[in-house]
Amino acid sequence: MADTVIEHLQVKKGEKIAIVGATPDQRALLLPLPEGSVETSVEEAAAVFGFAETLAGLHEELAELLPKLTATRIVWFGYVKGGKGELNRDIIANAVLEHGWRANGNRPIDDEWSAIRVRPLKAGEDPAALRLGKQPAAVR
């Protein structure tokens, strides 16, 4: 069983972790780090956690962040549950498709927050076939 929230998100003890785009309150959701883990740069991290509050901000973060994640084992993006924010699971899943990635997991962080796991598209995966739910006008 996971000892910490971040271990619940499949981070292993001793792994290097990067947390990007997080407010102090969002960062606190992921603390404490697992035993032996330290924060590091995105390029050196085995696990990366991103936060964005708007679709435009998410696309900016994805464009900057995803090309740097060639050696990253696991990538998560946090969002507010229950439609209380501009982003949700489907919007994030569809946004990452536009950057050559796809959603492949979803986990609760606490009563207010969830996280969606993403990974690069594999050869032959059709982004159009992976789109979820209704599209906001800015994504269509």
Give 94-134 pLDDT, tens digit per residue: 999 999 999 999 999 999 999 999 999 888 887 777 877 65
102 lies in some domain: yes
60 lies in some domain: yes
17 lies in some domain: yes
- pLDDT of 139 reads 43
Could you give the number of structural domains in the chain?
Answer: 1
Mean pLDDT of the chain: 88
56 lies in some domain: yes
140 lies in some domain: no
- pLDDT of 110 reads 92
* pLDDT over 90 percentage in the chain: 66
- pLDDT of 140 reads 37
Residue 20 has pLDDT above 60, yes or no: yes
- pLDDT of 132 reads 72
Contacts 24+ apart (CB under 8 A), 123-127: 127/97, 127/98, 127/100, 127/102
Query: Tell me: the pLDDT tens digits for 26-66?
Result: 999 999 999 999 999 999 999 999 998 889 999 999 999 98
- pLDDT of 136 reads 46
Q: Which domain holds residue 50?
A: 5-130
Distance (Å, rounded) from C-alpha 140 to C-alpha 65? 23
Residue 1 has pLDDT above 60, yes or no: no
Tell me the CATH number at 23: 3.40.50.150
C-alpha dist (Å) from residue 140 to 60, 91, 94, 127, 136: 17, 11, 10, 13, 7
